Amino acid sequence: MLSDRASLSLKIAAGAGLAFLHLPILLIFLYAFTTEEKSYQFPPPGLTLEWFGVAWNRADIWPPLWLSVQVALIATLLAIILGTLVAAAMSKTRFFGREQISLLILLPIALPGVITGMALRSAFSVMEIPYSVWTIILGHATFCIVIVYNNAVARFRRLSGNIAEASTDLGANGFQTFRYVMLPNLGSALLAGGMLAFALSFDEVIVTTFTAGQQSTLPIWMLQELVRPRQRPVTNVVAIVVFAVTFLPILAAYYLTRDGEHIAGSGK
């Protein structure tokens, strides 16, 4: 009887926690359909699809959206290349200070975004680098690399070292071993890491604020619209788009990596 009550209490607590996390998101979805333009009445006075058409025809939305996609794609590509190389070096070699260097690699995502943004802004100022799309990309790449690195190094540690040795014994050179042996086993982990990196880059605000200059990504546009609202439901429509663009890659990354134990040499 006591265990049943404890189980019920845990279920209620879990439900309350999920409601606290997700009800605000549901409210954003709801108010994207409201007929009221200026305020948040509950319940909404009426529902309409009008604001989706208004958002589609707002010319000021498309440049920030395209910029966000550009930045996320390039930052993700850089993260996949550099994160994979760093993961290979850290998982396959042993040297003095290896753990300290590993901590330094993880630091950009562990630090508050404000600190990372301030550090990058100071570095760009010292080096006299003008603020542009590339400064945003470099800022995003600092934490995207960590995301890919975490996925890649975990997969490297599960791979048996014997498969690379076997490939060498059969006459393959280093590139062939990586292309035909290692990469197929790393593929799902790199794809998942890339998807997570893209999602995080696409909706990043804090680091972007410090590195963007006069550029405006879609999250920055949304923040400005919330401060100086014109058509609140349009901002909620854009929020739905951002939610979809970030949630779907995260969901795909989860399904790609949940069976990560089924790889060559795992457990050996």
pLDDT digits (tens, 9 = 90+) for 168-183: 666 666 667 666 777 7
pLDDT at 268 over 50: no
Residue 264 tokens read as 């060559």
Using the predicted structure, report yes or no on whether residue 76 has a pLDDT greater than 90: yes
Phi-psi region of 171 (alpha: psi -120 to 50; beta: other; left: phi over 0): left
What is residue 179's predicted lDDT score, i.e. its pLDDT? Answer: 67
Mean per-residue pLDDT, 73-85? 90
Tens-place pLDDT, residues 124-164: 888 888 888 899 999 899 889 998 888 888 877 776 666 66
Q: Which residue has the tokens 């949940």?
A: 258
How many alpha carbons fall within 13 Å on the CB side of residue 116? Answer: 24
First to last CA, the chain: 45
For 89, the token pair is 């070096």
Helix (H, G, I), strand (E, B) or coil at 204: coil
Q: Identify the pLDDT of residue 265.
A: 41
Per residue in 30-48, pLDDT (tens digit) is 877 777 766 666 677 777 7
pTM of the model: 0.80
| Most confident residue range from 16-25, 32-41, 199-208, 231-240 | 199-208
Task: Report the length, in residues, of the chain.
Answer: 268
Q: Can you state the angle between helices 232-257 and 50-57, rounded to 10 degrees?
A: 90
| Ordered structural domains, the chain, with CATH | 59-257 (1.10.3720.10)
On the question of a cis peptide bond just before residue 219, with omega within 30 degrees of 0, the verdict is no
Determine the pLDDT at residue 262: 43
Cα separation, 167 vs 180, whole angstroms: 9
